């Protein structure tokens, strides 16, 4: 239990010390919403709303604010968790070698992931409200934001455990997010209602947020779809973490092939 | 008492046979040096002994706990030195940090205790790296180029620490491309062409 508390404490601390990510949240997020608010017209756009299989005619300005929020969350949180796992993976391995339980490690870092993404998603909602004061259901928008944040936080962890350097990982997350989220916005993409988009990770978060923004429907089926992406990425990140922090079996007795001719007698002395 | 026995260790990276047939015994209260040129496989051997890396063939039997100090400090830049100790205290299941405080004094970096690691010099990072490996007083200590970046005074204190560990029946294996203090070691091995040769003294 003491290990769990310690892991939890330092998992939070690690995220809190990412000043670059916090700078982006405090400075870049309001500016981005403000800029999009200015340049995007309010003319209604047809948006394919999956829960009712109908087209919603919603304000282009407000839909764009939702995609802006999703875009920012996916990039910033993907980067935050990518950066933290890349910085700490060898250290985490050293800790597990020292005896820290990987179970508590996983539980502690998961709670930190859930809590940090929840708070950042809430912050994003508060900024969103400055530019769009009257969405129907704020909780549902937040839920969409939160689910996509966890998904991309897990994706960031996966990339951080696969790639060795920072720049390629950063670009991967930016490009992945752009392709995924940008295509959902009917303002930027006339083909945003194409069925294949439903297989994208942020699709259900977009549907959920639009449901919260423009309808009184709770899109429960979209929550399940979002969870499938989230759980997939999360499980992959756990498996990778398990193998990347695994202590090798070289200190276990392992048989040597008998009669291996490549083996030569051990030289004795100089 | 034997604390570690490595037998017929082999390791290759693609077609490059780094370790061809390495045998090594480490007894309690012994200080062993392994010397070799850059790229001779010293770090690979130590990683295998520490359980960081799998050998292609061979086995390592261990009787006791291992403390491993890697060549490059493995620390968390977002934490302070004190937080590192707190984290490792939990990992090692230790009750107090009195010995760690002693190491802080011995290695002369107490004043940096509450500094974040990203602000520390290379030498201080190495002191922390070493402390994290020793703080639970393991049975076998594996040190990879441990005195890199140490000033002369710290270098002397480092040897005094190893002497202290030896007196308490700990085994210490030090690898380096340069070993000056030959007389301090009980045995010195040269790693060359994938084999270890014991130096005759």
CA angle, A108 then A145 then A89, to 5°: 35
- Residue pairs spanning A and B at CB distance below 8 A: 116
pLDDT at position B42: 92
pLDDT at position A249: 56
pLDDT at position A186: 75
Q: Which domain holds residue A230?
A: 2-38+78-250
Residue B9 Cα distances to A81, B6, B178, B194, angstroms: 38, 7, 23, 10
Mean pLDDT for each 10-residue chunk of chain A (270 residues)?
90 86 90 90 86 88 92 93 90 91 88 94 95 91 96 94 89 92 77 80 92 91 91 92 75 38 38
pLDDT at position A21: 85
Count, residues in chain A: 270
Which residues of A have a CB under 8 Å from any CB of B?
Answer: 2-3, 6-7, 10, 13-14, 17-18, 84, 87-88, 90-91, 93-100, 247-257, 260, 262-264, 266-270
pLDDT at position A51: 87
> Is the Cβ pair A250, B48 closer than 8 Å?
yes
CATH fourth-level superfamily of B2-198: P-loop containing nucleotide triphosphate hydrolases (3.40.50.300)
Mark out the alpha helices in chain B (DSSP H runs): 42-50, 81-92, 98-106, 122-134, 152-167
Alpha-carbon distance of A212 to A65, in angstroms, equals 13
Based on the structure, what is the number of domains in chain A? Answer: 1
Alpha-carbon distance of A180 to A176, in angstroms, equals 6
A2, A251, A254, A261: best to mutate for the B interface, most B CBs within 10 A = A251
Which ipTM value was assigned to this complex? 0.90
Residue A236 placed within a domain: yes
Residue B151 Cα distances to A3, A58, A116, B82, angstroms: 35, 69, 42, 22
Bridge-based pairing state of the strands B66-69 and B140-144: parallel
Alpha-carbon distance of B147 to B135, in angstroms, equals 17
Residue A56 placed within a domain: no
- B178's CB contacts (< 8 A; 6+ apart) are B35
Task: Report residue B38 as tokens.
Answer: 């850059």
pLDDT at position A265: 38
pLDDT at position A266: 41
- A146's CB contacts (< 8 A; 6+ apart) are A117, A118, A121
Asked if residue B123 has pLDDT above 50, the reply is yes
Residue A113 Cα distances to A223, A242, B153, angstroms: 18, 17, 44
Average pLDDT over residues B28-54: 91
Task: Report residue A176 as tokens.
Answer: 């992945």
Grouping H, G, I as helix, E, B as strand and the rest as coil, residue A165 is coil
Alpha-carbon distance of A26 to A32, in angstroms, equals 11
**Confidence grade of residue B161 (pLDDT, cut at 50, 70, 90):** very high
Residues paired with residue B24 on neighbouring β-strands, in sequence order:
B6
> Is the Cβ pair B198, A17 closer than 8 Å?
no
Bridge-based pairing state of the strands A44-49 and A54-59: antiparallel
Residue A48 has phi, psi (to 5 degrees) of -70, 110
Decide: A172 and A157 in contact? Cβ < 8 Å. no
**Residues of chain B found within 8 Å of residue A256, distances taken between Cβ atoms:** 7-8, 57-59
What residue segments make up the domains of chain B, in order of their start? Answer: 2-198
Residue from the list B21, B53, B76 with its beta carbon closest to the beta carbon of A91: B76
Decide: B131 and B104 in contact? Cβ < 8 Å. yes
Minimum Cα–Cα distance from A251: chain B residue? B60
Per-residue pLDDT reduced to its tens digit, B72-110: 999 999 899 999 999 999 999 999 999 999 999 999 999
Q: How far is CA A8 from the centre of its chain?
A: 19
Residue A171 placed within a domain: yes
Alpha-carbon distance of A35 to A55, in angstroms, equals 27
Task: Report residue B88 as tokens.
Answer: 């490792």
Decide: A137 and A211 in contact? Cβ < 8 Å. yes
Decide: A75 and A189 in contact? Cβ < 8 Å. no
pLDDT at position A270: 40
> In the 3-class helix/strand/coil scheme, how is A18-33 assigned residue by residue?
CHHHHHHHHHHHHHHH
């Amino acid at each position: 239990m003491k290990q769990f508390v310690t892991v939890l404490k330092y998992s939070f601390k690690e995220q809190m010390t990412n000043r670059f990510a916090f700078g982006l949240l405090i400075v870049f997020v309001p500016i981005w919403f403000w800029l999009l608010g200015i340049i995007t017209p309010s003319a209604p756009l047809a948006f394919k709303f999956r829960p009712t299989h109908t087209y919603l005619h919603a304000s282009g300005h407000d839909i764009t604010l939702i995609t802006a929020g999703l875009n920012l969350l996916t990039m910033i949180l993907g980067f935050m968790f990518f950066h933290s796992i890349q910085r700490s993976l060898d250290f985490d391995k050293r800790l597990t070698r020292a005896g820290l339980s990987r179970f508590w490690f996983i539980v502690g870092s998961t709670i930190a992931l859930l809590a940090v993404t929840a708070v950042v998603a809430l912050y994003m909602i508060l900024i969103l409200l400055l530019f769009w004061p009257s969405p129907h259901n704020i909780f549902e928008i937040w839920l969409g934001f939160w689910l996509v944040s966890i998904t991309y936080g897990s994706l960031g962890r996966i990339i951080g455990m696969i790639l060795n350097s920072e720049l390629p990982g950063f670009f991967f997350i930016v490009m992945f997010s752009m392709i995924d989220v940008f295509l959902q916005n009917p303002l930027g993409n006339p083909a945003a209602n194409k069925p294949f988009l439903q297989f994208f990770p942020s699709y259900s978060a977009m549907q959920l947020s639009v449901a919260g923004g423009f309808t009184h429907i709770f899109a429960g089926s979209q929550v399940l779809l979002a969870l499938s992406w989230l759980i997939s990425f999360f499980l992959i990140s756990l498996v990778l973490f398990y193998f990347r922090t695994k202590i090798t079996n070289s200190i276990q007795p392992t048989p040597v092939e008998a009669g291996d001719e490549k083996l030569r007698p051990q030289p004795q002395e100089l | 008492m034997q604390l570690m026995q490595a037998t017929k260790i082999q390791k290759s990276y693609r077609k490059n046979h780094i370790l061809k047939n390495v045998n090594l015994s480490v007894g309690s209260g012994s200080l062993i040096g392994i010397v070799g040129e850059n790229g001779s496989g010293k770090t690979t051997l130590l990683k295998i002994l520490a359980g960081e890396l799998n050998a292609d063939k061979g086995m390592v039997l261990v009787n006791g706990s291992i403390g491993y100090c890697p060549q490059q400090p493995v620390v968390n830049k977002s934490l302070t030195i004190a937080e590192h100790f707190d984290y490792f205290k939990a990992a090692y299941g230790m009750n107090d940090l009195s010995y760690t405080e002693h190491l802080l004094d011995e290695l002369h970096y107490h004043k940096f205790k509450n500094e974040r690691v990203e602000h520390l010099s290379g030498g201080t990072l190495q002191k922390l790296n070493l402390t994290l490996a020793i703080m639970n007083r393991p049975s076998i200590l594996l040190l990879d180029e441990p005195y890199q970046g140490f000033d002369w005074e710290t270098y002397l204190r480092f040897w005094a620490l190893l002497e202290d560990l030896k007196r308490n029946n700990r085994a210490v294996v030090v690898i380096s491309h340069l070993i000056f203090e030959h007389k301090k070691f009980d045995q010195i091995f040269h790693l060359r062409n994938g084999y270890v040769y014991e130096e005759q003294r």
